[in-house]
Amino acid sequence: MKNVCILGSTGSIGQLTLEVIDSLGNRFYPYALSCYKNIALLKQQVNKYKPKYICITDKEASEKFTPPKGAILLTGIDGLKALATHPKVDILLNAIVGSIGIHPTLEAIRAKKRIAMANKETLVAYGEIVMKEIDKNKTILLPVDSEHSAIYQCLNSRQSKIKRIILTASGGPFLHKEITPEITSKEALKHPTWKMGAKITIDSATLMNKGLEMIEASILFNVPPENIEVVIHPQSIIHSAVEFIDGSIIAQLSSSDMRLPIQYALTYPERLPSLVKSLKFDELQRLEFFKPDFNKFPCLKLAYKSAYEGGTMPCVLNSANEIAVNSFLRKEIKFSDIPVIIEQVMNTHHTIKSPSRLGSARQAISDIESADNWARKEALTWICEKYTNPKINSEVV
């Protein structure tokens, strides 16, 4: 039996991971669980799975939670690090939202844990540092995003040279609808294919999520952004594909179910029966593919721009986006303002081109964290100046 630490167990990926663990019998045990502040759901999970360790990162929420007998409660970033490096933990599944996930990720890599990665912001902001640490410590990082898992599976055991990566996107709720300033958060949160948290669902509506995944794919598979093509595929059956230099294309197909990439990350290199419904090709009426409209979805264009710029710019893109999305969800700005805010922040940023090459990993992380903090404050300042009475939430700074 392998012990799993699930960071973000109350989120959508965390809950699905526990479903996968249930389906696999006694092969995996949720040794440690963490959440931000959803202690009601955490209590249910703790009562059912009886983890040895629990971490709640929100201080107020942690003060309201009493761990059961035999379990140890930890708090904050230090608690996440302790869970990620515990000697009895075999696999770290990082499903935290936001670039805060860098800290337990690096600690787990240095402790030579297997990483199942669902925290894309960490790779977008700190990707080069993470991949260097992976190589240095000879450990494994397996992507949990369905697209990156698909690419990993297409490349597994193949040494052929890649010509390009075809990264598929559902297109979100506005693929065939006009984007207007009147779009509400309720409309933007109606994703046609996937059930996800609010932030990632808004990112899917703007196609920023696909932009972040493009940057992540570039880092994970060492492919320049110009060789990664985003293609709209509304049916979400082909999760991504790889074209090799001889013109052959290998794609990964399956039902739209995140339990498949989660299970693959847990059981790799073994494959086991899963809860995922098998595809019936005779019932697939059509598979459609479109080029994304960069004018309609400028966030995707900004993501490519940040990837070409490199250095601290992807971090700035991600941080400004987090602030803009949070402001939209709090009804402080309009949906169409999200890319405007991101572009404004990017245009005023002075990029550090290669922070990870300028010194130690500690110094590189410090440079990127400085860019992260600057971008968040710049975005908040710009929103304050342009909009009246924004309800600024200190938690997102």
Same domain (yes/no): 305, 329 = no
pLDDT of residue 388: 54
How many residues are there in the chain?
397
In a domain, 149, yes or no: no
pLDDT at 285 over 90: no
Classify the phi-psi angles of 269: left when phi > 0, otherwise alpha if psi is within -120 to 50, otherwise beta.
alpha
Mean pLDDT for the stretch of residues 202-207: 95
**Higher per-residue pLDDT: 395 or 149:** 149
Query: Of the candidates 100, 116, 143, which is a domain's last residue?
Result: 143
Same domain (yes/no): 290, 170 = yes
Write the CATH number for 57: 3.40.50.720
pLDDT of residue 23: 96
In a domain, 48, yes or no: yes
- In contact, 86 and 5? CB cutoff 8 Å: yes
pLDDT of residue 395: 41
pLDDT at 372 over 50: yes
Mean pLDDT for the stretch of residues 166-190: 90
pLDDT in tens, 7-17: 999 999 999 99
Classify the phi-psi angles of 2: left when phi > 0, otherwise alpha if psi is within -120 to 50, otherwise beta.
beta
Lowest mean pLDDT of 227-231, 324-328, 347-351, 364-368, name the range.
Answer: 364-368
Q: Where are the alpha helices (DSSP H) in the chain?
A: 12-23, 39-49, 59-63, 76-85, 102-110, 120-137, 146-155, 185-188, 198-206, 208-221, 259-267, 298-309, 313-329, 337-347, 361-386
In a domain, 273, yes or no: no
pLDDT in tens, 300-345: 999 999 999 999 999 999 999 999 999 999 999 999 999 999 999 9
pLDDT at 195 over 80: no
pLDDT of residue 356: 54
Same domain (yes/no): 20, 92 = yes
pLDDT level of residue 147 (50, 70, 90 thresholds): very high
Report the C-alpha gap between 294 and 159 in whole angstroms.
33
Same domain (yes/no): 172, 286 = yes
In a domain, 364, yes or no: yes
Residue 230 pairs in a beta bridge with 167
Q: What is the pTM of this model?
A: 0.90
pLDDT at 180 over 90: no
Mean pLDDT for the stretch of residues 128-132: 93
In a domain, 267, yes or no: no
Same domain (yes/no): 132, 169 = no
- Count of structural domains, the chain: 3
Same domain (yes/no): 204, 289 = yes
Mean pLDDT for the stretch of residues 211-231: 97
Mean pLDDT for the stretch of residues 118-138: 94
In a domain, 270, yes or no: no
Same domain (yes/no): 227, 339 = no
pLDDT at 157 over 80: no
Report the C-alpha gap between 369 and 352 in whole angstroms.
12
pLDDT level of residue 349 (50, 70, 90 thresholds): very high
Same domain (yes/no): 197, 296 = yes
Same domain (yes/no): 286, 352 = no
Pair of tokens at residue 276: 């995922």
pLDDT at 393 over 50: no
Q: What's the DSSP call for residue 278? A: P
Same domain (yes/no): 290, 394 = no
Round the average pLDDT of the chain to a whole number and report it: 92
Q: What's the DSSP call for residue 8? A: T
Query: Of the candidates 121, 143, 165, which is a domain's last residue?
Result: 143
pLDDT of residue 327: 95
Q: What's the DSSP call for residue 111? A: T
pLDDT of residue 363: 79
pLDDT in tens, 224-272: 999 999 999 999 999 999 999 999 999 999 999 999 999 999 999 999 9
What residue numbers bound the domain in which 352 lies?
310-397
pLDDT level of residue 361 (50, 70, 90 thresholds): confident
pLDDT of residue 296: 96
pLDDT of residue 301: 98
pLDDT of residue 47: 97
pLDDT of residue 359: 55
In a domain, 268, yes or no: no
Write the CATH number for 372: 1.10.1740.10
In a domain, 265, yes or no: no
Mean pLDDT for the stretch of residues 104-117: 97
Same domain (yes/no): 206, 296 = yes
Same domain (yes/no): 351, 299 = no
